[in-house]
Structure 1
């Protein structure tokens, strides 16, 4: 009896799927008893034959290093095969795996599918992308709605980003986002039920719960490493060839306030998770905004982001004036007192 309880506890802590095929059930039972090698032996031929549940289970085995040598690349490949057959849990896992590996453009279609089913981590990632306009068209209303849903699910990075968004998104758009979030809550519940039905299709056939987790818990996707959405006021333009450095900075053109050494004001044009994007934006704006190259650029580190600022300026009025010129070039800008 004690061994049975231990196996059940392992099953309750795993993330595998157990469909109604006899051999897959045998693997499921072996895994619950701690015989991982036997479980893998049962699942592998079915996975190779195209069974999505067995493929997902093989992915979890390789990710946890149970019954096989730990191999993240092989795990992700099994998740891909199961995801392409429409297994919701595999779609979620595969999308986040790609995103964590830095393959964000490739991950985004899977992230969108997961977000549409109400998966909070996917909603956070997609909300970030929609705010920044990265890999998807910028949509602050939908970004706010998705971040609201992810925050309501208890995802702390989403709560942090939502608070930051309040400083950037106009009240009217935030209100529309809240209304959209209320509608998403209804659709999320329906989608989650449908996904659970697919993931747990063998419950009746096996007489067991179909969702278990590996004893060595896979490393979770660190969505907190995604770019903090409310820290980015505008997407970065395509980098342009850098001009040859001038011996001295040109004076600002008429209509743009002159830099003021020792001034207490700067303007901020965005914040980025990569220094290169901040540098690319500065080069682009220096070519577009007359007189901007006469200012000093600042790359201010703050946690995981780099803020692009320019200055110094003598007053808030001068900072506002320079921001108007920058906004006219298509980039958001806010005055900052140092």
Structure 2
């Protein structure tokens, strides 16, 4: 028993010694961040090199940033990737996110997937965009249009520029019911991401200020409409790099291939229908649910003059990050269903609901 106690005390003493060594390293890393903030990149790198070699996650991430940006050291993407990987394995979340995006951009998508999925779970809009596109195409992950629409809606709400055009494309494929369900799923994903971030913050060492967070200005993203395949998207990324000389892990070259969907039937002219005598009933015809409100405006302009809709109340309802478009004022469920049936014959999607 005495020997066992000695062994335990020896381990405790060893651990305390490691903490004693770690404290000045943290201070050194912070000094490097101060130098970086002043624009003295060489001094920052000099402060970080020793702690990075000793395995400090913040220092390794900061050195990765320096090598990626070419600040204080020559640009070396291979060395940057190595440092991000080491910091990620040591538990540095931002390094893990950056490492995953770099792998994805480099075409190593299977290797990148766990990192990108983890970043998406934390609410990173770039990762949400990539995983959303993957779910839409059924590429690397299962095809799930509802989750795809929810993730793209969140990325678009966060201001990611390429998410809006992607949602506009999705609006042409994903059925109304799935888009409407995606509103609730988006909120659920958002709440789960907040919980994940809170748990990580509670468990993390208070070393945030020791991390250099400067990022590269984003390069122009290829248009979704111009990216029918992985190869085409990646070519557009390469052209953007050559034009700007910048490197951005967020440009991942994700495909937005159109799924194999049978062509929609040609619109059939609607039969004449009587103008409603009153438009104050409780029943409604729901015309769409859109992550981009402008798509709802365009749909209303197309259908508002049809006899099934003319004279009805125009309703644009917010459902989280999704805008629901409805025509209101139908006196009975049968009236609303009749209008919806006629709209479907004309090539428009719809469903009947009540206020």
TM-score (norm 1): 0.58
RMSD, aligned α-carbons: 3.3
- Tell me, yes or no, if structure 1 residue 61 matches structure 2 residue 66: yes
Higher relative contact order (CA 8 A, sep 6+): 1
Bigger drift between 81-90 and 57-66 goes to 81-90
SS of residue matched to 1:334: coil
Q: Decide whether the 8 Å contact of 1:274 with 1:306 is kept in 2.
A: no
Tell me the residue number matched to 2:33.
Answer: 28
User: 1-side partners of 2:24 and 2:165: how far apart?
Assistant: 39
Partner of residue 100 from structure 2, selected from 70, 79, 95: 95
Tell me the residue number matched to 1:188.
Answer: 193
Tell me the residue number matched to 1:72.
Answer: 77
Structure 1 gaps of 5+ residues are 1-17, 204-208, 233-270, 276-303, 309-329
Tell me the residue number matched to 2:235.
Answer: none
Q: Decide whether the 8 Å contact of 1:27 with 1:43 is kept in 2.
A: yes
Return the offset for 1:274.
3.9
Cα 1:109–1:139 change in 2 (3 A) is same
Partner of residue 216 from structure 2, selected from 208, 215, 218: 218
Q: Decide whether the 8 Å contact of 1:117 with 1:195 is kept in 2.
A: no
User: 1-side partners of 2:77 and 2:98: how far apart?
Assistant: 12
Cα 1:200–1:117 change in 2 (3 A) is same
Return the offset for 1:136.
1.0
Cα 1:51–1:111 change in 2 (3 A) is same
- Tell me, yes or no, if structure 1 residue 122 matches structure 2 residue 127: yes
Tell me the residue number matched to 1:169.
Answer: 174
- Tell me, yes or no, if structure 1 residue 333 matches structure 2 residue 262: yes
Number of corresponding residues: 223
Map 1:1-338 to 2 at 5 A.
21-195=26-200, 201-202=206-207, 209-210=209-210, 212-214=212-214, 217-218=215-216, 220=218, 224-225=221-222, 228=224, 271-274=228-231, 331-334=260-263
TM-score (norm 2): 0.55
User: 1-side partners of 2:63 and 2:39: how far apart?
Assistant: 15
Return the offset for 1:112.
0.3
User: 1-side partners of 2:75 and 2:157: how far apart?
Assistant: 34
Q: Deviations over 1:51-73 (max 9, x none)?
A: 11111000011111111111122
Structure 2 gaps of 5+ residues are 1-22, 233-253, 267-355
Q: Deviations over 1:214-236 (max 9, x none)?
A: 4xx535476x449x4x999xxxx
User: 1-side partners of 2:222 and 2:201: how far apart?
Assistant: 28
User: 2-side partners of 1:89 and 1:306: how far apart?
Assistant: 27
Return the offset for 1:118.
0.3
Return the offset for 1:199.
7.2
Return the index of the structure with the highest Cα Rg: 2
